[in-house]
Amino acid sequence: MEKICVLGLGYIGLPTASMLATHGFEVIGVDVNPKVVETVNRGSIHIQEPGLQTLVRAAVRSGNLRAAEYPEEADVFIIAVPTPVTQEKKANLDYIRAAANSITPLLRPGNIVLLESTSPPGTCQYVLRPILEAGGLRAGVDFSLAYCPERVLPGRTVKELIENERVIGGIDRASAEAAARIYRVFVEGGIHLTSCTTAEMVKLMENIYRDVNIALANELAIVCERLGIDAWEVINLANLHPRVNIHLPGPGVGGHCLAVDPWFIVEQFPDETSIISLARRTNDSMPNHVVARLKEILSGEQPEKATVPEVITDRDDAGCGWKVAVLGVAYKGNIDDARETPALPVLEQLEREGFSFTIYDPHVRDFPYELSSFTEALVGADCLLILTDHDEFKFLHPLELGKLMHRRIIFDTRNIINPQTWQQSGFQVYSLGRGTVLTL
Ligand code: SAJ
Ligand 1 neighbour 345 (Cβ under 6 A)? no
Ligand 1 neighbour 287 (Cβ under 6 A)? no
Q: Which of 5, 124, 196, 203 is catalytic?
A: 203
For residues 360 and 372, is the Cβ–Cβ distance under 8 A? yes
Provide the β-strand partners of residue 167: 192
Position 302 scores a pLDDT of 52
Provide the β-strand partners of residue 146: 114, 170
Position 341 scores a pLDDT of 98
Provide the β-strand partners of residue 325: 358, 384
**216 C-alpha to ligand 1 centroid (Å):** 15
**Pick from 170, 177, 174, 166: nearest CA to 203:** 166
Cα 262 to Cα 120: distance, rounded to the nearest angstrom: 9
**27 C-alpha to ligand 1 centroid (Å):** 29
For residues 409 and 383, is the Cβ–Cβ distance under 8 A? yes
Cα 68 to Cα 392: distance, rounded to the nearest angstrom: 37
For residues 64 and 21, is the Cβ–Cβ distance under 8 A? yes
For residues 359 and 347, is the Cβ–Cβ distance under 8 A? yes
Q: What is the pTM of this model?
A: 0.93
Mutate which of 119, 210, 390 for ligand 1 pocket (most atoms within 8 A of beta carbon): 210
Q: Active site includes 203?
A: yes
Q: How many CB atoms lie within 10 A of CB 256?
A: 19
Q: Active site includes 320?
A: no
**185 C-alpha to ligand 1 centroid (Å):** 27
What are the pLDDT digits (tens) for 75-89?
Answer: 999 999 999 999 999
Ligand 1 neighbour 210 (Cβ under 6 A)? yes
**389 C-alpha to ligand 1 centroid (Å):** 13
**426 C-alpha to ligand 1 centroid (Å):** 35
For residues 93 and 260, is the Cβ–Cβ distance under 8 A? no
Which backbone phi and psi does 140 adopt, to 5 degrees?
85, -15
Which backbone phi and psi does 362 adopt, to 5 degrees?
-70, -10
Which backbone phi and psi does 434 adopt, to 5 degrees?
-120, 130
Q: Where are the alpha helices (DSSP H) in 129-256?
A: 129-133, 157-163, 173-183, 196-227, 231-238
Ligand 1 neighbour 390 (Cβ under 6 A)? no
Annotate 384-404 with DSSP letters as a single string.
Answer: EEE-S--GGGGG--HHHHHHH
Ligand 1 neighbour 363 (Cβ under 6 A)? no
For residues 318 and 354, is the Cβ–Cβ distance under 8 A? yes
Segments in the chain below pLDDT 70 = 301-320, 436-440
Which residue, by CA, sits nearest to atom 19 of ligand 1? Answer: 153
- Sequence-distant (≥ 6) Cβ neighbours of residue 288 within 8 angstroms: 345, 349
Looking at every residue in the chain, the average pLDDT score rounds to 94
Which residue, by CA, sits nearest to atom 27 of ligand 1? Answer: 153
Position 435 scores a pLDDT of 85
- Sequence-distant (≥ 6) Cβ neighbours of residue 137 within 8 angstroms: 107, 108, 109, 111, 143
Ligand 1 neighbour 214 (Cβ under 6 A)? yes
**258 C-alpha to ligand 1 centroid (Å):** 6
